[in-house]
Amino acid sequence: MKKLMTAAGIVLSGVLLWLAVKDVDSGEISRSFRDADIVLAAPLLLALAGFYLLKAVRWSDILAPTARIRARELIPSMMSGAAGNNLLPAHMGEIVRAYLLGRRYRLPQSGLLATLVAERVFDVLGVLLLLSAALLSADVSAGLWPAILFLVSVALGGTAFMYLVVAHSDRFVRFVSARTDRLPHSMRDRVGNLAAQIAAGFGALRDGRLFYRILVTSIMQWALMGGCVFIALRALAVDVPYQAAIVVLATIVAGLTLPTSPGYFGTIQYCFVLGLKPFGIDATQALAASIFYHALLWCSVTVTGLYYLHADRLTFADMRRLDRNS
């Protein structure tokens, strides 16, 4: 199954890359990079560092009820996992991340993976809330208001739902089990395990202040990543408001839920093209900005993660073994 998903990700990424480049003028791409404001690479990398620092702070908060680990102590395994995502298929860097932290602090890997499920849900909520705010503050046509109100409802409803899961995690698991008892056994087990993982990841966060702190950190974190997108657009002279960067970011987050190649090549390029189309930006400008953004993120994150992997004496072959055994 994993090999099938990997193959599907590579094929889909290839298709998306073709869709991104099919209407692009290669000469214009070259001219865009010759005129690019390379100095803006510095604030982009600074915003990226802020993103990962807040990510570590948030993970420390999610772990707090079961393991007191400071944010700076989480950075090595977190960056190693991010490098793994850039080099391995199917987001296998998350397995690397949980393995390294579990080995260092003698924590069960299943519990750590549950916290990563919690992270993903907070990621979605944070991006949805940012997207809702961006669309509400943007100058959009009247025909888009039903879609905007729907997104706002989903964001607020999702936040309320996850708070209820936190407050009543046991009831949540029982509710899911009761509603899936007629499904085939294998599917019922998968749904039940997913519900248990979500409840385990959130169940310890019964402190309302901690829940909202994590939610606010998620919003700040993804606002910084939106800043990375915005700076990349500015560096390539793409004149759009910050709200457009948030739309591109939300498109990327949605696109990365699909099977993708290691490093997300093709997917990110097409998401830039698709996300900027409503703002009147042509594919050539969007693709140039995506390359600037993607190259800086991929290189900096991979180099940093490989440094920490070397310090932890985990080789690429070891990561491949984790991939096969997961």
Lowest mean pLDDT among 20-24, 80-84, 137-141, 259-263: 137-141
Q: Are the CB atoms for 211 and 205 separated by under 8 Å?
A: yes
Question: Whole-angstrom Cα distance, residue 297 to residue 294?
Answer: 5
Question: Whole-angstrom Cα distance, residue 323 to residue 319?
Answer: 6
Place of tokens 């959130």: 202
**What is the band of 2 on the pLDDT scale with cuts at 50, 70, 90?**
low
The confidence score (pLDDT) of residue 323 equals: 63
Q: For residue 135, give every residue at least 6 positions away whose Cβ sits within 8 Å of its Cβ, in sequence order, or none.
A: 144, 148, 151, 243, 247
Rounded to the nearest 10 degrees, what angle do helices 145-167 and 185-203 cross at? 80
**Mean pLDDT value across residues 192-219:** 75
Lowest mean pLDDT among 132-136, 155-159, 229-233: 155-159
**What is the band of 3 on the pLDDT scale with cuts at 50, 70, 90?**
confident
The confidence score (pLDDT) of residue 325 equals: 63
Is residue 304 scored above 80 in pLDDT?
yes
> How large is the C-alpha radius of gyration of the chain?
20
According to DSSP H, which parts of the chain are helical?
A: 2-21, 26-34, 41-63, 71-87, 93-105, 109-137, 145-167, 169-179, 185-203, 208-235, 242-255, 267-276, 283-311, 316-325
Neighbour count for residue 321 (Cβ, 10 Å)? 11
The confidence score (pLDDT) of residue 196 equals: 67
The confidence score (pLDDT) of residue 326 equals: 61
The confidence score (pLDDT) of residue 152 equals: 67
**Mean pLDDT value across residues 8-24:** 89
**Mean pLDDT value across residues 218-224:** 97
Q: Are the CB atoms for 166 and 175 separated by under 8 Å?
A: no
The confidence score (pLDDT) of residue 173 equals: 66
Task: Determine what percent of the chain is predicted with pLDDT higher than 90.
Answer: 41
Question: Whole-angstrom Cα distance, residue 123 to residue 134?
Answer: 16
The per-residue pLDDT for range 87-141, each reduced to its tens digit, is 887 778 888 898 899 989 998 877 788 788 888 888 988 998 898 888 888 776 5
**What is the band of 143 on the pLDDT scale with cuts at 50, 70, 90?**
low
The confidence score (pLDDT) of residue 146 equals: 67
**Mean pLDDT value across residues 38-53:** 97
State the pTM of this model. 0.86
Closest CA relative to residue 264, chosen from 27, 39, 88? 88
Question: Whole-angstrom Cα distance, residue 227 to residue 271?
Answer: 16
The confidence score (pLDDT) of residue 224 equals: 98
